[in-house]
């Protein structure tokens, strides 16, 4: 649909060319721009047009139009508001979504523009004065409802207005009182405090006193007496009834065609299809509490105005609630909610990047210096230190065994692994756990991996972030912390082996003696992967490089569309897989017959790799859990303040999601991944989310930088404790610094009864990035641990000593001065006291307590025992050894595997560093 410039109101010239809000008030049937200083002030005697413009990650502007109708506005002004909203939409290319906002019944999307609230004013707007011509300061009583948005309404200044269910704000010249009904929620009270702060700053210059009054607690409080004196003295509030929440009767969804004469003709009900909508007509979709008006792209502005007036007249004649929301959509700009009512509607609506109207606006943005692109460039950067310490465990049923450092960059697609990554944070070392679930792994192994990962996270006292990652869907960050990763076919898991045997499936587990094909990918030497693919020529792609291993021959294949960077990765990965290979280099198009023979013959293969589109802006949802299911509600224009401590929220970043658990939420960590899976299944945004999308679980107070980057983050707020009301009150009264970090951990999800050999140690200060680098040691909190199956929910042996990698003393001090270390011979705790174990010291009695520097001959004189019998948590411990030097009884070969160095090199280390290695391997 086209529109000429004469049809556009002069007030809309240039509208939408700048980001943010633009507001017009209808004054004497004319549009008057509202100055920015008056944004958020709405007069009940007026109607307004509000345009919000944001720049999406795809480089294009998005417009949302709202028209707000004051409860005392004239009918002519109301009719004009809807007409002008249509004109504004047409001037922007008819791609905006329009919303009708009735005073007191606004959408949460609209209210999110004016945080913390809007407080409608009595009277009318005057463009000359910029304020109501009758506005004077007076005492007012407001009711405040809502937990994530505040619906504020003035009520009569009378005791009868108070009740036990809501929160009230009494604004006087000298003091603001907040009265919290005993049945109101903590979140509502906290949100009301934001409104109090707003009133204090805007009406009292920030210097007004604030008093909080709690319903039912009146004794000995001068503020309480002063509050009730304003009502003529205290008297009981009339006992009301709690609002009952009834499930509304589900009404059938009905679709009507709106004729040129303004009549409604029913087209269908419930089973609706997109084909029912014609581009030259307008339709009404009646969803009971919400109405959609769909306007075909070929319809004129006049037809659309007729449709709008028809809908509003119909709602009035039917006596429908004034709270019925009406959304106006032009073909091609349908919202997720609208599309969800139609069967088979495409999940993604492909936008034409520079169509009429939109292209004009994009050009304006370019002229003003905004970077408007058709296709965004991939711009990923690490948000954590990627040179930390990596540890990998393989899960095999009840067994969790550490993978030696030299092998930890190799993962089998039929197995499951637990990955722990430790890196330096701002003031402490951070831990990130991944459960990597091979794409061909067994479901039982996946459940075990998640169970064991939760147990490990619990042993770190909840200071960790955990994630679930499916093989083939890894986030870039996962690759970055590995730096070089090889994903092999097959698996070692007993369940995987049993499965392929029962199904008579050929075992494809990688073996250097077998033929194998690897696709090489990545963005650089610190982010490269080799993924084993099917041994057929159709696995090739001209945009990649490959390694083909066939018996004694090794080929490197370079696709014609691959880059120099891709080819450099090819050489690096070849050396990583097997540095002894002498490859035959071939370029696409010049392959020898032996190359094709190894692949079973030449077949067609893709010529180009899939180009990833831009990643849309993230969405935040608050979750309500009922009867094992979740209901979610979107939080618009979210900020850090929306992360309320009583809630569980999900940040949907499209290619990964984050489940954020507040400290006071009634959700445990073991439920978080399940909540994430249910969110993926619901696919709230109808975006085709894969059930294999990575899921991160983040605890309040321990948010990593790759989560906080989506917010304007205030670390002081993140470290506060108390419920959300207590925190907001501390901020309001300037006592934010007094609210320390909460010691409560939302991660505690298991009741483990285990014997600890040492007390908990205090967290150490973070060391510099030069000291925290990728270790050559396979240091691990838990090695070759055997746990009971998840259904038993307890360990078969005591939990390994949970020690943080960098806790205890700093590197500059000997561990002898660390009071957290106790004699390792104290093995048991009975009746609250430590019972010491008698330790024999056959070889080291004269050296106990001193730095050890032993020669190889002395070490060779000792008997050797396997690691499983030497570790502190062994089920079959060796008797009669010096338990302060357990590591010395390892064979030279096993010592090299476990510690990543020789015994001589180990005993040359400072004592504190020796102890760190031993602690991490449960040998101390």
330 and 387 co-located in one domain: no
Q: Three-state DSSP class for 887?
A: helix
Which residues make Cβ contacts (< 8 Å) with residue 779, sequence separation at least 6?
A: 389, 391, 805, 916, 917, 920, 921
Q: How far is it, in rounded angstroms, from Cα 823 to Cα 318?
A: 82
Looking at the fold, whether 499 and 387 belong to one and the same domain comes out as yes
Element (H, E) at 65: strand 61-69
Q: Which residues of the chain fall below pLDDT 50?
A: 1-5, 130-134, 349-360, 363, 366-367, 372-378, 741-855
Distance CA 218, CA 446 (A): 56
Structural domain that includes position 156: 136-228
What residues form DSSP beta bridges with 587?
A: 558
Is 787 within 8 Å of 829 (Cβ atoms)?
no
Q: Are residues 480 and 554 in the same domain?
A: no
What's the rounded Cα separation, in Å, for the pair 41 and 64? Answer: 19
Closest CA to 469 of 506, 511, 508, 439: 439
Question: What is the token pair recorded at 449?
Answer: 């991996």
CB 324 within 8 A of CB 289: yes
Do 459 and 394 share a structural domain? yes
Burial call 720-732: b when 16+ CB within 10 Å, e when fewer: bbbbbbbbbbbbb
What is the distance between the alpha carbons of residues 708 and 703, in angstroms, rounded to a whole number?
7
Cβ burial of 579 (10 Å; 0-12, 13-18, 19+) is: exposed
Q: Which of 701, 733, 765 represents a domain boundary (last residue)?
A: 733
Contact call for residues 481 and 388 (beta carbons, < 8 A): yes
Instruction: Give which of 26, 19, 10 is closest to 637, Cα–Cα.
Output: 19
Q: How far apart are CA 97 and CA 328, in angstroms?
A: 6
Answer for the pair 409, 484: CB distance below 8 angstroms, yes or no.
Answer: yes
Which pLDDT value is given to residue 651?
A: 96
Q: Which of 331, 332, 371 is nearest to 352 (CA)?
A: 332
Cα separation of 140 and 326, whole Å?
A: 31
The C-alpha atoms of residue 373 and residue 61 are separated, in whole angstroms, by 11
Q: Is residue 600 part of a domain?
A: no
Sheet with 484-488, edge to edge strand ranges: 410-412, 484-488, 527-533, 516-524, 545-550, 553-558, 584-587
* CB-CB neighbours of 551 under 10 Å: 10
Q: Which of 27, 45, 25 is nearest to 35 (CA)?
A: 25
In a shared domain, residues 268 and 207? no
Residue 51 in domain: no
Whether residue 625 sits in one domain with residue 723: yes
Q: Which of 66, 33, 35 is nearest to 49 (CA)?
A: 66
Domain check: are 220 and 278 in the same one? no
DSSP string, 474-537: --HHHHHHHSEEEEESS---HHHHHHHHHTT-------TTS-EEEEEEEEETTEEEEEEE-SSG
User: b/e string for 647-665 if b means 16 or more Cβ within 10 A?
Assistant: bbbbbbbbebbbbbbbbbb
Q: Tokens for 322, please give them.
A: 């004034």
Residue with tokens 């509502």: 188
Whole-prediction pTM value? 0.76
Are 152 and 216 part of one and the same domain?
yes
CA distance 124 to 737: 43
Does some domain include residue 247? no
Residue 642 DSSP symbol? G
Instruction: Determine the Cα angle at 61 with ends 339 and 298, to 5°.
Output: 55
Give the integer Cα–Cα distance in Å for 784 and 832. 29
Which stretches within 653-801 are classed as H helix? 669-682, 705-708, 715-718, 724-732
Any idea which residue has 């370019």 for tokens?
366
Token pair, residue 175, equals 């003091």
In this structure, is residue 329 part of a structural domain? yes
- CB-CB neighbours of 860 under 10 Å: 10
Q: Quote the pLDDT of residue 895.
A: 86
**Are 470 and 561 members of one domain?**
no
Helices (H), 653-732: 669-682, 705-708, 715-718, 724-732
Last residue in a domain, options 504, 521, 551: 504
Of 592, 609, 628, which marks where a domain is finished? Answer: 592
Q: How far apart are CA 924 and CA 922, in angstroms?
A: 6
Strand pairing category for 648-652 and 629-635: unpaired
CATH number at residue 163: 3.40.20.10
Cis peptide before 116 (omega within 30 of 0): yes
Enumerate residues 6+ apart whose C-beta is below 8 A from 475.
Answer: 469, 655, 656, 694
Asked, for residue 741, whether it belongs to a domain, the answer is no
CA angle, residues 918, 921, 922, in degrees to nearest 5: 85
Contact 318, 291 (CB under 8 A): no
Number of domains in the chain: 6
From the list 658, 670, 660, the residue with the least C-alpha distance to 694 is: 658
Place of tokens 């007191």: 104
- Specify the pLDDT at position 261: 84
Q: For residue 885, report the phi and psi dihedrals to the nearest 5 degrees.
A: -135, 50
d(CA 508, CA 535): 10
Is 449 within the bounds of a domain? yes
Tell me, yes or no, whether 185 lies in a domain: yes
H helix runs in 722-765, sequence order: 724-732
Angle between helices 724-732 and 186-203 (to 10 degrees): 20
Same domain? 477 vs 541: no
Task: Clarify whether residues 207 and 265 are in a common domain.
Answer: no
For residues 179 and 169, what is the distance between their CA atoms, to the nearest angstrom? Answer: 6
CATH number at residue 882: 1.10.950.10
Orientation angle between helical segments 443-459 and 494-502, nearest 10 degrees: 170
304 with 416, same domain: the answer is no
Q: Which pLDDT value is given to residue 31?
A: 93
β-partners of residue 255 are 268, 285
In 3D, which of 452, 460, 387 has the Cα closest to residue 418?
A: 452
Is 635 domain-assigned? yes
Long-range pairs for 567-571: beta carbons < 8 A, 24 or more residues apart: 568/525, 569/520, 569/521, 569/522, 569/524, 569/525, 569/528, 569/545, 570/520, 570/545
Q: Strand locations in 261-415, DSSP E?
A: 264-269, 272-273, 282-286, 290-295, 325-330, 342-343, 389-396, 399-402, 410-412
Residues 6+ apart with CB under 8 A from 349: 332, 334, 339
What letter would DSSP give residue 877?
P
Contact 745, 807 (CB under 8 A): no
């Amino acid at each position: 649909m086209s529109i000429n410039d004469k049809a556009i109101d002069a007030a809309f010239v240039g509208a939408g060319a700048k980001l943010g809000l633009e507001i017009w008030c209808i004054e004497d049937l004319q549009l008057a721009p509202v100055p920015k200083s008056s944004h958020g002030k709405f007069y009940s005697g007026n109607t307004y047009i509000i345009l919000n413009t944001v720049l999406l990650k795809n480089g294009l502007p998005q417009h949302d139009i709202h028209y707000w109708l004051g409860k005392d506005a004239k009918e002519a002004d109301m009719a004009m508001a809807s007409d002008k909203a249509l004109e504004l939409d047409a001037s922007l290319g008819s791609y905006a979504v329009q919303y009708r906002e009735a005073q007191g019944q606004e959408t949460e999307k609209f209210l999110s523009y004016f945080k913390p609230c809007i407080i409608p004013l009595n009277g009318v707007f005057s463009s000359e004065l910029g304020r109501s011509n009758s506005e004077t300061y007076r005492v007012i009583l407001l009711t405040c409802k809502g937990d994530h948005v505040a619906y504020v309404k003035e009520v009569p200044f009378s005791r009868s207005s108070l009740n036990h269910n809501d929160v009230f704000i009494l604004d006087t010249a000298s003091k603001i009182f907040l009265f919290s009904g005993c049945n109101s929620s903590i979140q509502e009270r906290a949100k009301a405090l934001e409104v109090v702060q707003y009133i204090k700053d805007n009406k009292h210059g920030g210097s007004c006193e604030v008093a909080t009054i709690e319903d039912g607690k009146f004794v000995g409080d001068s503020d309480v007496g002063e509050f009730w004196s304003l009502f003529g003295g205290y008297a009981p509030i009339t006992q009301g009834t709690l609002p009952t929440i009834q499930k509304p009767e589900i009404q059938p969804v009905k679709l009507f065609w709106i004729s040129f004469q303004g009549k409604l003709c029913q087209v269908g009900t419930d089973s609706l299809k997109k084909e029912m909508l014609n581009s030259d007509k307008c339709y009404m979709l009646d969803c009971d509490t919400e109405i959609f008006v769909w306007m075909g792209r070929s319809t004129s502005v006049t037809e659309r105005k007729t449709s709008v007036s028809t809908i509003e007249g119909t709602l009035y004649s039917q006596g429908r609630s004034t709270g019925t929301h009406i959304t106006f959509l032009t073909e091609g700009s349908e919202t997720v909610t609208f599309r969800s009512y139609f069967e088979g509607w495409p999940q993604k609506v492909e936008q034409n990047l520079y169509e009429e109207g939109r292209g004009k606006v994009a050009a304006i943005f370019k002229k003003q210096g905004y970077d408007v692109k058709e296709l965004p460039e991939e711009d990923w950067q690490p948000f954590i230190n990627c040179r930390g310490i990596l540890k990998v465990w393989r899960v095999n049923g009840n067994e969790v065994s550490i993978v030696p450092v030299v092998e930890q960059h190799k993962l089998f697609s039929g197995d499951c692994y637990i990955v722990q990554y430790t890196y330096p944070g701002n003031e402490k070392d951070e831990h990130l756990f991944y459960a990597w679930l091979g794409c061909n792994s067994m479901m039982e192994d996946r459940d075990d991996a998640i169970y064991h990962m939760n147990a490990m996270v619990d042993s770190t006292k909840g200071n960790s972030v955990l994630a679930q990652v499916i093989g083939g869907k890894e986030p870039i960050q996962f690759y970055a912390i590995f730096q070089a990763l090889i994903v092999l076919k097959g698996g070692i898991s007993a369940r995987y082996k049993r499965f392929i045997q029962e199904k008579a499936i050929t075992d494809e587990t990688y073996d250097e003696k077998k033929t194998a094909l690897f696709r090489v990918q990545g963005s650089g030497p610190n982010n490269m992967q080799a993924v084993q693919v099917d041994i057929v020529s159709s696995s090739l792609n001209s945009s990649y490089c490959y390694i083909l291993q066939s018996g004694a021959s090794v080929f490197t294949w370079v696709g014609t569309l691959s880059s120099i960077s891709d080819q450099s990765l090819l050489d690096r990965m070849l050396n990583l897989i097997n540095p002894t290979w002498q490859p035959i280099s071939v370029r696409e198009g010049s392959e020898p017959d032996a190359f094709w023979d190894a692949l079973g013959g030449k077949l067609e293969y893709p010529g180009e790799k899939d180009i990833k589109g831009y990643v849309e802006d993230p969405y935040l949802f608050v979750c309500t859990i009922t009867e094992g299911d979740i209901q979610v509600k979107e939080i618009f224009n979210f900020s850090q303040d929306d992360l309320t401590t009583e809630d569980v929220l999900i940040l949907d970043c499209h290619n990964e999601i984050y489940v954020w658990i507040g400290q006071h939420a009634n959700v445990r960590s073991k439920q978080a991944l399940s909540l994430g899976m249910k969110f993926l299944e619901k696919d709230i945004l109808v975006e085709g989310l894969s059930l294999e999308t990575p899921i991160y679980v983040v605890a309040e107070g321990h948010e990593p930088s790759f989560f906080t980057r989506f917010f304007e983050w205030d670390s002081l707020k993140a470290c506060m404790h108390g419920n959300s009301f207590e925190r907001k009150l501390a901020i309001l009264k300037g006592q934010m610094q007094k609210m320390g970090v909460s010691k409560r951990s939302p991660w505690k999800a298991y009741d483990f009864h285990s014997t600890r050999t040492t007390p908990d140690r205090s967290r150490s200060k973070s060391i510099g990035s030069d000291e925290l680098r990728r270790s050559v040691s396979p240091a691990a909190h838990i090695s070759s641990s055997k746990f009971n199956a998840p259904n038993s929910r307890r360990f078969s042996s005591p939990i390994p000593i949970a020690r943080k990698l960098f806790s205890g003393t700093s590197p500059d001090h000997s561990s002898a001065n660390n009071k957290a270390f106790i004699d390792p011979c104290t093995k048991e705790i009975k009746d609250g006291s430590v019972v010491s174990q008698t330790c024999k010291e056959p070889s080291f009695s004269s050296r106990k307590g001193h730095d050890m520097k032993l020669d190889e001959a002395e070490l060779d004189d000792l008997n050797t025992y396997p690691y499983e019998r030497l570790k502190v948590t062994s089920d079959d411990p060796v008797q009669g050894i010096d338990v302060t030097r357990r590591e010395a009884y390892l064979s030279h070969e096993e010592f090299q595997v476990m510690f990543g160095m020789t015994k001589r090199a180990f005993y040359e280390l400072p004592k504190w560093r020796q102890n760190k290695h031993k602690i991490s391997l449960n040998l101390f």
